[in-house]
Chain A
Amino acid sequence: MAVAVVALALLVPAAASAHAYLIKTVPEASVILSRPPSSVQLTYDEAVEPRFAIISVTDVDAHQETTGPVTRSPSDPDTLVVPIKHIGQGWYLVYWRAISVDGHPVQGAFTFAVGPDAGPAPQFTVPHIAGTATSTPLVVAKWLAFLTVMTAIGLFVLRVVIARPLVRRVSGTSLSRLTLAFAVVAALGLIAIPAYLEEAVSIDSLRSFWSVTAVVPLWRLTAFGRGYVDVELCFALFVLAAAVAIWTDRPEREGRSVAALLALSGAFGGAAAVLVLPGAVGHAGQTAPRGVAILLDWLHLVSGSLWIGGLIGLLVVWATLPAARRVAGFAVCVPRFSNVAFVSVLILLGTGVGASVLHLPVLNALWLTTYGKVILIKAGILLAAMLLASVNLLKNKPGLSRPEVSEASARLLRTLVSIEAVLVAGAILAAAVLSSVAPPPPAFAEEGSAIARVGPGKVASTVTRGGYKLQVLVDPNRAAAPDSFGLRLTRGGKPVSGADVTLTFAMLDMQMPTQEYQLAETAPGVYTRKAPALVMVGHWGLSYTITPKHGLPFTVLVVDRAGG
């Protein structure tokens, strides 16, 4: 059944490839209208949910002009509409915030005016709502969900496969404490998944975590929310199947009954389904080739689960066995776990490298982007854990079979396993951060050709190209604000008039459509345009294509960092 749920989830077309993007506004940004509009309409490149959206329309004195809730346009599902009062002459600020299908919030602002004498455009302080996918409570909640689910799956495998011979080989032992540990962690997982979803949706909908009755109905409104509801459902089915598998298992017998084997295969199917869903609704599901990306992500989670669950299982075995039988217990479990862990670590390494190759457009994105830096941190933690694992594999595991050092080896092994478990839990925390940060888009590969790096803050930087001197002007260079963009073009100290100047914006931190604007000459050699183009904080590629009146066209790329 869990497999069927996952199959259904995967049959649904992939979510939009990136964040929701505002592609049209009515009224247009910066327009001066002769008559007041009756509503403000925003069209996105995907159907964003109106119940998560905010559209604020305020006058220069910050009075709210909206008269009703945000609704979806009956004629266009991608368009949100908010009704407004009969407004008078003057300038108005429109601030909007929406939640993408992938669960990430996006926001922006623009102005428009009602004439005929609207006066000069005011300088508005553009509001900003800080709640993001990387807020600390959300990352902690995600980490707890990942940690408990992966540990539960790994503990189950240890209980029903790796540690099973313990009962037969070491007299007076049982697996009941491992079963109890599995039950506790599984119960925590069943709480942690909806807690994470509640936290994510409450942040997106700007409500309190405790507004359960208001937030829960919103869970399934985005692909992200539906995905995690499915994770909870699959995990519950896995726990159920695992409980039956443990109940029917007779570890004192070497063979397994047909009922036990059926229950076991159902539990494994459920576990496999649980671990495929986060990738399907996360970055892997939005990365081409999608099938390969999801497979790599799934294998990564499976191997990670076996590792963390196995480590914690070994600690449970050590803690719950009588002191006299601990060494004997480890002598049974550790060699079997080591074989599984060795293969798991190899798969973890291979799939991690493979996923990085898929997600990073160029190698230097590893140290230049947040996404890349988190990968490096995660890899560093895992390498430290692998170092400890190799000591256990090469030194302590053989020591368990030598009576003269078995006690010391077992004690050292227990200590190192504890540290290793903490490190792997840390790596899972890094994974929680990683899955909350957007991977760099293909446009990032072009960053190497940038002639200058500017920002954050107001920009007035001068660069030269082909005998031309270009002063790049960006003010105030803030995301979600109607920024002004200018280019002062001179050659031989004289302004270059009559050129055709086009400015293209490409978001370098995540996949987003590009925008293109024509700049108007407002003074000799000065080309300007006001545009709400920097819709997010981060790195933007500002590409100026200049066609002088008498000369060959050329393009310069400037990387700008827009602040919040």
Chain B
Amino acid sequence: MLHRGSLIVLVTITAAALLAGCGSGSGSTATTGPTIFPGRVFGLSSFKPTGPVRAGRPTMVSFKIRTPSGKPLTAYRKCCAPHVGVFLLVIRSDDSHLTFDALMPAAKGEVRQPVVFPTPGRYRVTVDAWPKVTNPNTPFNFQLFKWVTVQGHYHPQPLPPPRSTVVVDGYHFTIEGHPRLKAIEPSFLVIHATDPDGRKAVFGTWRGALAHAIFYRQGNLAYSHTHVCKPGAIYCFSALGNIHVTGHSTAPGVLKVGVLLPEAGTWRLFLLTYLRDRVVTVPFTLHVSR
């Protein structure tokens, strides 16, 4: 016959073994997966206009950038032109019209800028931000997007076919050769510019660069922005992930424009240069293969 003490030991150990086993689950046979919470993101807050606007009149566009913590972004880069503050770009959905402003938000992080939407249709507002890097988690640069509808009947314009020479206000801009552009791969367009008198154009520095090359893809309006700077400029590069490209100008009348586009398709290049104290916007159409 089992001794009483042995019985107690037996019961205790068996109970302990079962209790140890009980600790691991509720009895369900299903696998217990992890709990995933939504991510916290940068976003636009207090964006105006909130509804359709009228064509041909200045409309106040205003917003703040909301950080993942929920607070407005107030610290922006000021040191390193052209990578400073906020770029505000407005592109018509058919790639036919672009406005570009470089702004420094107010102390509380608000950006206000009057914008003229010239014709009816849909416009995509791009907010290209350069926050001050206060910790390693601060993104170096990021973009946020918003759509604005302009009242009236929308007449989309077809994109002009690719041409190597474009003439604007008497200035001739010619792409050298026939460059083959590929998505993700950094490359360059060598563009020769002459003034209305046929002399090599002299570029002035505007918004930190000799030229801003702003790219919008036909259809989804994917965005890219590179700069052409004077030789030796440090903060002129543009990045796509870990790939960098930097445009430069080493001779009068010549721009070596960096191209770094995220996907294949037809792209519109708006080359913004500063010539004789005014901004000249030169549009090109480009084909980009995979």
On A, residues with C-beta under 8 Å from B are 30-32, 34-35, 54, 56, 58, 60-62, 64, 91, 93, 95, 97, 115-117, 119-125, 127-129, 131, 135-138, 140-141, 144, 148, 177, 180-181, 184, 188, 191-192, 195-196, 198-199, 202-203, 205-211, 213-214, 319-320, 460, 473-476, 484-486, 497, 520, 522-524, 526, 528-530
Which residues of chain B have C-beta atoms less than 8 A from A195's C-beta? 17-18, 20-21
- Please indicate which of the listed interface residues A117, A138, A474, A476 has the most CB atoms of chain B within 10 Å of its own CB: A117
- Cβ 8 A contact of B6, one of A34, A184, A214: A184
- Chain B 259-273, CB within 8 Å of chain A: the 1/0 string? 001110000000000
Pair A93/B20 contact, Cβ less than 8 Å: no
Stretch at the interface among B91-99, B100-108, B134-142, B205-213: B134-142
Which residues of chain B have C-beta atoms less than 8 A from A473's C-beta? 135-136
Answer whether A116 and B39 are a contact pair too, CB < 8 Å, given A195-B20, A209-B22: no
On B, residues with C-beta under 8 Å from A are 2-3, 5-6, 9-10, 13-14, 16-42, 68, 79-80, 133, 135-137, 139-140, 142-145, 183-184, 217, 220, 222-224, 234, 240-242, 261-263
Answer whether A208 and B20 are a contact pair too, CB < 8 Å, given A125-B37, A475-B136: no
Pair A115/B263 contact, Cβ less than 8 Å: yes
CA separation between A135 and B25, bound complex, in Å? 13
Pair A199/B31 contact, Cβ less than 8 Å: no
A-B contact pairs, 6 of them (CB 8 A): A31-B241, A54-B34, A123-B40, A141-B21, A191-B17, A319-B5
Query: Taking chain A's interface residues, is the majority helix, strand, or loop, or is none over half, making it mixed?
Result: mixed
User: Nearest 9 CB-CB pairs, A to B?
Assistant: A208-B25, A137-B23, A120-B142, A484-B136, A116-B262, A122-B39, A486-B136, A127-B34, A116-B222
- Cβ 8 A contact of A138, one of B19, B20, B29, B242: B20
- Please indicate which of the listed interface residues B14, B36, B184 has the most CB atoms of chain A within 10 Å of its own CB: B36
Answer whether A199 and B24 are a contact pair too, CB < 8 Å, given A32-B241, A34-B184: yes
What is the distance, in angstroms, from A497's C-beta to the closest C-beta of chain B? 8
- Cβ 8 A contact of B31, one of A93, A207, A485: A207
CA separation between A263 and B240, bound complex, in Å? 75
Pair B35/A127 contact, Cβ less than 8 Å: yes
Pair B41/A122 contact, Cβ less than 8 Å: yes
Pair B38/A199 contact, Cβ less than 8 Å: no
Pair B136/A199 contact, Cβ less than 8 Å: no
Given contacts A125-B37, A473-B136, 4 further A-B contacts (CB under 8 A): A117-B262, A120-B143, A144-B16, A214-B29
Answer whether A211 and B25 are a contact pair too, CB < 8 Å, given A141-B17, A141-B20, A485-B136: yes
CA separation between A528 and B35, bound complex, in Å? 30
Nearest residue, chain B, Cβ from A144? B17
Pair B25/A120 contact, Cβ less than 8 Å: no
CA separation between A120 and B138, bound complex, in Å? 10
Pair A62/B142 contact, Cβ less than 8 Å: no
Query: Taking chain B's interface residues, is the majority helix, strand, or loop, or is none over half, making it mixed?
Result: loop
CA separation between A460 and B3, bound complex, in Å? 65
Which residues of chain A have C-beta atoms less than 8 A from B28's C-beta? 208, 211
CA separation between A485 and B30, bound complex, in Å? 38
CA separation between A122 and B24, bound complex, in Å? 33
Pair B223/A180 contact, Cβ less than 8 Å: no
What is the distance, in angstroms, from A28's C-beta to the closest C-beta of chain B? 9
Which residues of chain B have C-beta atoms less than 8 A from A207's C-beta? 25, 29-32
Pair A209/B223 contact, Cβ less than 8 Å: no
Nearest residue, chain B, Cβ from A124? B39
CA separation between A524 and B234, bound complex, in Å? 10
Which residues of chain A have C-beta atoms less than 8 A from B10's C-beta? 184, 188
What is the distance, in angstroms, from B62's C-beta to the closest C-beta of chain A? 20
Pair B21/A199 contact, Cβ less than 8 Å: yes
CA separation between A32 and B36, bound complex, in Å? 22
Which residues of chain A have C-beta atoms less than 8 A from B23's C-beta? 135-138, 140, 199, 209
Pair A60/B30 contact, Cβ less than 8 Å: no
Pair A120/B42 contact, Cβ less than 8 Å: yes
Nearest residue, chain B, Cβ from A113? B241
Answer whether A61 and B222 are a contact pair too, CB < 8 Å, given A34-B263, A210-B25: no
Which residues of chain B have C-beta atoms less than 8 A from A124's C-beta? 37, 39-40
Which residues of chain A have C-beta atoms less than 8 A from B144's C-beta? 119-120
CA separation between A18 and B165, bound complex, in Å? 63
Pair A144/B20 contact, Cβ less than 8 Å: yes
What is the distance, in angstroms, from B260's C-beta to the closest C-beta of chain A? 11
Pair A137/B16 contact, Cβ less than 8 Å: no
Pair A34/B183 contact, Cβ less than 8 Å: yes
Nearest residue, chain A, Cβ from B28? A208
CA separation between A131 and B140, bound complex, in Å? 37
Nearest residue, chain B, Cβ from A145? B17
What is the distance, in angstroms, from B227's C-beta to the closest C-beta of chain A? 17
Nearest residue, chain B, Cβ from A320? B3
Which residues of chain A have C-beta atoms less than 8 A from B29's C-beta? 207-208, 210-211, 213-214
CA separation between A520 and B136, bound complex, in Å? 11
CA separation between A353 and B62, bound complex, in Å? 72
Which residues of chain B have C-beta atoms less than 8 A from A199's C-beta? 20-21, 23-24
Pair A209/B36 contact, Cβ less than 8 Å: no
Answer whether A123 and B68 are a contact pair too, CB < 8 Å, given A93-B36, A137-B22, A473-B136: yes
CA separation between A126 and B17, bound complex, in Å? 34
What is the distance, in angstroms, from A321's C-beta to the closest C-beta of chain B? 12
Which residues of chain A have C-beta atoms less than 8 A from B41's C-beta? 60, 91, 119-120, 122-123
Pair A484/B21 contact, Cβ less than 8 Å: no
Pair B20/A123 contact, Cβ less than 8 Å: no
- Cβ 8 A contact of A198, one of B21, B183, B223, B263: B21
CA separation between A460 and B23, bound complex, in Å? 40
Which residues of chain A have C-beta atoms less than 8 A from B143's C-beta? 117, 119-120
CA separation between A475 and B6, bound complex, in Å? 57
Which residues of chain B have C-beta atoms less than 8 A from A522's C-beta? 133, 140
CA separation between A199 and B20, bound complex, in Å? 8
- Cβ 8 A contact of A95, one of B5, B34, B184, B242: B34
Nearest residue, chain B, Cβ from A319? B5
